[in-house]
């Protein structure tokens, strides 16, 4: 059978081999391109350069001192308060006025104190009357006792004479024995009666004298109570205890005041102390006796810490400072001034400005700006001493490095920043 037409023309084509080498090269080039592009894509949180503040780490002398705003207060102050409840009847002074010791400031009224005074005076008068009657009774008893004592002593003497006479007659045989025995019994009876009278009177006198003593003591207590009431009534007229300037005094006629109610104070003029609040960070380094100076009208006045109050309130504690010499002329209560307190000696150190970054990182890390200024990375550091304008760097940074010192509050947990212009 003849072959089909055209069959002789068909020839099998050779099988094409796949170019695996080209595919591999293409894949490598693609991966390298992707990596290169990834390097060109910036990483980190984007921040605008205008929104940050940076500072360069520098070497210098660290001044171990702090600057606080202190306010002037009178060195000696007497607080005015009342001891009794009363109604304000009269006000003779005004807030801010100068007063002298003994000046009448205001007067109160309290009818109950007047009634109490009358009642106590009546009690005292009654006790004095009772004491007088008791003393009369004691004197009368003593007189009566002396009279009875004389009678009994006379009776004893008579019985003794009769006994002696009877014993003489008995010896001569003129009277019987029983007569002597009777006289002896009468003598013993009279002597016993004398002893009983003396003992009874001693007990009675002791009791009455104790009654007199107790009544005198009761009168003394009444006198003390009466003095207290009198002092309270006198205290209704309040006088200035010292000379000075009356402050925080705003009583009005008709106002009711209560015991221990503060109604003002008197400031002794001319002498002042300074009161300042300091950040709790410095509590362990602030102590009594540390020195400093306060600047008033471009002049420095030396001061020293007199008292430290360690109680923390709103992250701050209170100190009181005294002027080493005299206070500035013309200083007034409430006047504020910058006060420099020295905590230690100045010494060389690496430093950064004391800025907002400390509050956000607690001084344990910072963002260090790259040399090209386009990024910043987070780095652990260690902070030493601080003052109001500088912080001492003890590790983690070198001189000349630039650090972001503005707030980190909006950066979250990122460890890299991308700085855009």
**pLDDT tens string 238-253:** 888 888 888 888 888 8
Tokens of 53: 């503040």
Domain parsing of the chain, residue ranges: 45-62+347-420, 66-75+270-342, 78-108+237-265, 111-235
pLDDT at res. 412: 87
pLDDT at res. 22: 57
pLDDT at res. 26: 61
Q: pLDDT tens for residues 337-374?
A: 999 998 888 889 999 999 999 988 988 999 999 999 99
The topology under which CATH files domain 78-108+237-265 is OB fold (Dihydrolipoamide Acetyltransferase, E2P) (2.40.50)
Residues of the chain with pLDDT under 50: 1-8, 17, 35-41
Cross-strand partners of 78: 266
Q: Is-same-fold flag (45-62+347-420; 111-235)? A: no
**Rounded to whole angstroms, how far apart are CA atoms 193 and 187?**
10
pLDDT at res. 288: 93
Class of domain 111-235: mainly alpha
Q: Which CATH superfamily is domain 66-75+270-342 in?
A: Efflux pump adaptor protein, beta barrel domain (2.40.30.170)
pLDDT at res. 20: 54
| Residues contacting 379, CB < 8 A, separation 6+ | 365, 366, 367, 368, 396, 397
Q: pLDDT tens for residues 193-246?
A: 888 888 888 888 888 888 888 888 888 888 887 787 777 777 777 888 888 888
**CB-CB contact of 351 with 62 (8 Å):** yes
The topology under which CATH files domain 45-62+347-420 is 2.40.420
Cα end-to-end distance, the chain, whole Å: 90
pLDDT at res. 44: 78
| Residues contacting 247, CB < 8 A, separation 6+ | 95, 96, 264, 265, 266, 267, 333
pLDDT at res. 32: 57
pLDDT at res. 10: 53
């Amino acid at each position: 059978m003849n072959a089909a037409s055209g069959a002789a023309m068909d020839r099998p084509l050779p099988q094409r081999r796949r170019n695996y080498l080209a595919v591999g090269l293409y894949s490598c080039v693609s991966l390298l391109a992707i990596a290169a592009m990834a390097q060109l894509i910036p990483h980190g949180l984007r921040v605008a350069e205008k929104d940050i503040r940076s500072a360069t780490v520098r070497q210098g002398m660290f001044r171990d001192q702090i600057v606080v705003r202190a306010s002037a207060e009178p060195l000696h102050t007497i607080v005015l308060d009342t001891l009794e409840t009363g109604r304000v009847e009269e006000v003779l002074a005004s807030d801010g006025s100068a007063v002298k010791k003994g000046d009448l400031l205001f007067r109160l009224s309290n009818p109950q104190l007047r009634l109490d005074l009358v009642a106590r005076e009546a009690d005292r008068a009654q006790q004095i009357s009772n004491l007088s009657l008791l003393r009369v009774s004691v004197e009368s008893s003593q007189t009566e006792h002396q009279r009875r004592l004389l009678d009994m002593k006379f009776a004893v003497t008579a019985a003794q004479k009769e006994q002696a006479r009877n014993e003489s007659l008995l010896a001569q045989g003129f009277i019987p024995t029983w007569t002597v025995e009777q006289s002896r019994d009468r003598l013993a009876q009279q002597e016993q009666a004398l002893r009983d009278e003396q003992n009874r009177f001693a007990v009675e006198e002791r009791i009455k004298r104790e009654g007199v003593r107790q009544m005198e003591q009761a009168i003394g207590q009444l006198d003390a109570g009466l003095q207290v009431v009198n002092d309270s009534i006198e205290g209704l007229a309040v006088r200035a205890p010292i000379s000075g300037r009356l402050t925080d005094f705003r009583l009005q006629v008709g106002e009711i005041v209560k015991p221990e109610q503060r109604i003002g104070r008197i400031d002794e003029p001319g002498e002042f102390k300074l009161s300042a609040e300091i950040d709790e960070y410095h509590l362990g380094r602030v102590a009594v006796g540390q020195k400093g100076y306060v600047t008033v009208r471009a002049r420095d006045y030396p001061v020293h810490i007199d008292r430290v109050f360690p109680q923390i309130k709103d992250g701050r504690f209170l100190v009181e400072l005294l002027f080493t010499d005299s206070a500035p002329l013309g200083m007034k209560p409430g006047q504020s001034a910058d006060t420099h307190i020295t905590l230690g000696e100045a010494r060389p150190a690496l430093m950064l400005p004391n800025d907002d970054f400390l509050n956000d990182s607690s001084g344990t890390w910072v963002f260090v700006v790259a040399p090209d200024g386009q990024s910043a990375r987070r780095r652990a550091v260690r902070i030493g001493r601080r003052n109001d304008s500088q912080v001492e760097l003890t590790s983690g940074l070198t001189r000349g490095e630039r650090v972001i010192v503005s707030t980190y509050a909006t950066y979250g947990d990122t460890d890299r920043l991308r700085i855009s212009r």
